[in-house]
Amino acid sequence: MKKNIGSTDKIIRVVIGLAIIGWGLYAQSWWGLIGLIPLVTVATGFCGLYTLLGMNTCEVKKTEKV
Residues 6 or more apart whose CB falls under 8 angstroms from that of 22 comprise 32, 35
Domain containing residue 20: 9-53
> What is the spatial distance between Cα 14 and Cα 10, in angstroms, rounded to a whole number?
6
pTM above 0.75, yes or no: yes
The domain tally of the chain equals 1
Q: Residue 62: its pLDDT value, please?
A: 65
Q: Residue 24: its pLDDT value, please?
A: 97
Does some domain include residue 39? yes
Does some domain include residue 42? yes
Q: Which residues of the chain have pLDDT under 50?
A: none
Contact predicate 24/33, CB 8 Å: yes
